[in-house]
Structure 1
């Protein structure tokens, strides 16, 4: 007579299947543990700033390189020079939030509507010696500076102090060489 037992064959199959599943879970746990550090992709926004400097009819500002030294990571750079000239640079902030700087010569109302989302103006904030309009909602904030020919917007899910830090970290880029509107520099007389 055969010693084959259907119940022992079923248990054996379950044990093999369970062993395979445990092996897969252990491999997945090992892979996840070796890749546990968050990797945020970084972009170099300076080439877009240089192109903008040549294409824009307004003074161009760019985030200071010092922001990256403070733990800010540039994650995106979008430049449009066909039509309204607009440039946006996105950052992962030092506090792991999101902030974006946009400058555009499009209609200021359109730029503000697109960048402040559903936030409402709640006052002004002094940043770098200028009064920026402050917009706020439950999950979005923005600072807006309207200047002649250009609108600057710093917006995102970051806290107001981080948005203000980004706005304060903007620096004027030198005018493009060959710009007919540039003032001639004076040389010291010797």
Structure 2
């Protein structure tokens, strides 16, 4: 037995046994071939926004296929209600729905879009949305200014994906708001 614990030959045999055991462990270990993006349930924030906002809250009627809701944050401060809902898109870009009644609305829009520059409009389901683009951040933004609030879809997703999210938005009944179209 002493022959296997001394010299190069013993070392080589011990190394081979260790590598064989490690190989067996790796072969038997489960492999994660699928990407896993943790999803959040935003329905509670949507309900709370609907119940606390003085404006009409807009919620996706259905999450587009392949999209994952990744974040939801509702902030109420000094009578202002702001809701942000983030998504990983089907192409794994980022898109976010943001809506608020923060005054002045233009300042909120400029801050969320990271630009004041309007590049035109885009029709989505018969409604004109303002388009903004900030090239250095690769950020695209669709803006819909309503009477008392603003609804935005923004992120690094392409225009088609942002329009896809905007097209799913539906006004929610609110105890304190009247519908705005």
Q: TM-score range by the shorter chain?
A: 0.7 to 0.9
The structure-2 alpha-carbon separation of the partners of 1:153 and 1:24, relative to structure 1 and needing over 3 Å to count, comes to farther
On the 8 A contact 2:57/2:171 being kept in 1, the answer is yes
Q: Which residue of 2 aligns with 1:130?
A: 127
Query: 2:10 is paired with a residue of what secondary structure?
Result: helix
Question: Which moves more between the two structures, 86-95 or 53-62?
Answer: 86-95
The yes-or-no answer on 1:75 pairing with 2:75 is no
Deviations along 1:147-190, one digit per CA (max 9) or x if unpaired, are 222121101111101101111110000122xx4x659xxxxxxx
Q: Which residue of 2 aligns with 1:188?
A: none
Deviations along 1:111-138, one digit per CA (max 9) or x if unpaired, are 2233223695322111122221112226
Q: Which residue of 1 aligns with 2:153?
A: 154
On the 8 A contact 1:119/1:140 being kept in 2, the answer is no
On the 8 A contact 2:55/2:178 being kept in 1, the answer is no
On the 8 A contact 2:50/2:172 being kept in 1, the answer is yes
Can you give the 5+ residue segments of structure 1 that lack an aligned partner in the other structure?
184-190
Match of 2:85 among 77, 80, 89: 89
On the 8 A contact 1:119/1:141 being kept in 2, the answer is no
CA RMSD of aligned residues (A): 2.9
**Count of residue correspondences:** 174
Q: Which residue of 1 aligns with 2:109?
A: 112
Q: Greater relative contact order: 1 or 2 (C-alpha under 8 angstroms, separation 6 or more)? A: 2
Q: Which structure has the bigger radius of gyration?
A: 1
Deviations along 1:40-91, one digit per CA (max 9) or x if unpaired, are 21122111111111111111111112x25x2322111111122331001111
